Amino acid sequence: MNSAAFRNLLRWLLALAATAFFLAPLLWMFAASFQTEARIFAPGFSRWFDPAGWTLENYADAWRRVALGRGLFNSALQVLLVAAGGLVVNTAAAYAFARLEFRGREVLFALVVMLVILPVEVLAIPLFFTARDLGLTGGPVAAMAGLTVPFVAKAFNIYFLRQHFLSVPRALEEAAVIDGAGPWNLFWHVALPAVRPALATVVVLDLLAHWGDFLWPLMIATREESRTVQLTLANLFTQPPVQWGDILACAVLATLPVVLVFRLLQRHIVLTDARAGIK
């Protein structure tokens, strides 16, 4: 074996080892979710390969005990509303900061950038009092508004999209202006298609941020019918009897949507990172 082939083999083995290291907890969670309570922590590995011991009872119990279907629906609706509203608000704001000339633009953008460093925990209390005074807590409709409205506009998404709008060649817009395009047509037909990978990236970021969010839903979704999937998962730790099979089954169902969406949009995310690296 020559040196080049040996190096390629070594890289492949290192990549395989790193993949196994990071995927091991997820694979264990998935396999254990099909095991009975007595077999989950039993010694040995032979039980994992015995189909006779596999069961779907954990999924049925988790679905029944904590209204898991309702929690998944609430989380999916929350993420959908935040992502859809964010695409409208954040793209418009980012394009305005990138291309439109108006008084105070640089000062306003500097304030937006300053907001990026503030974590949600710092803003949680004032946001909660504001949501409470506006009636955005309690029932399913009010709680869903409280879960989504404060997070439609995001400072980081505006900053991120603004940088990508700046990278769009002005020659494209100038050619469209010659053809009679106005500001709206420039935004809709020229700028947005050019930053499509960046749009996919912010959608994934919103999914990761809000699908796994626990603190804000805990403060806003005070009723069982308005709880998100993370709150329903937490209930399995406190609602007796504590069954680890049910917990793992709920964790699998809470993880799959994130994995599937990331897999569907992975190509756009990689393209965005590659372009950022080139620039």
Residue 138 main-chain phi, psi, to 5 deg: 105, -110
pLDDT value at 77 more than 80: yes
Residue 140 pLDDT: 85
Tell me the per-residue pLDDT of 91-144, one tens digit each, with 9 for 90 and over: 999 999 998 888 989 999 999 988 888 888 888 889 999 998 888 887 789 999
How many Cβ atoms from other residues are within 10 Å of residue 136's Cβ? 21
In this predicted structure, the answer to whether residue 3 has a pLDDT above a threshold of 90 is no
Closest CA to 127 of 98, 148, 97: 148
| Residue 247: burial class (beta carbons within 10 Å; 0-12, 13-18, 19+) | buried
- Residue 279: per-residue pLDDT: 44
Most confident residue range from 39-43, 103-107, 133-137, 178-182: 103-107
Q: Where in the chain is the domain with CATH 1.10.3720.10?
A: 64-278
Nearest CA to 35 out of 61, 59, 53 is that of 53
Q: Report pLDDT for 276.
A: 44
Instruction: Give one word for 116, left, alpha or beta, with left for phi > 0 and alpha for psi -120 to 50.
Output: alpha
Residue with the bigger pLDDT between 96 and 52: it is 96
How many CA atoms does the CB half-sphere of 248 hold within 13 Å? 22
Average pLDDT rounded to a whole number, residues 79-100: 93
The kind and range of the H/E element at 179 are none
Q: Which of 48-57, 73-82, 94-103 has the highest mean pLDDT?
A: 73-82
Query: Is 68 buried (19+), middle (13-18) or exposed (0-12) by CB count in 10 A?
Result: buried
Neighbours of 271 (CB within 10 A): 15
Task: Tell me what the mean pLDDT of segment 204-220 comes to.
Answer: 91
Written as six digits, the tokens of 100 are 């439109």
Instruction: Measure the CA dihedral 185/187/190/192, to 10°.
Output: -140
Second-level CATH architecture of 64-278? Orthogonal Bundle (1.10)
pLDDT score recorded for residue 48:
62
Number of other residues whose CB lies within 10 A of the CB of residue 137: 20
**Of 17-26, 147-156, 218-227, 260-269, minimum mean pLDDT range:** 260-269
Q: What percent of the chain has pLDDT over 90?
A: 35
Q: Which residues contact 20 (CB under 8 A, 6 or more apart)?
A: none
Over residues 199-213, the mean pLDDT reads: 90
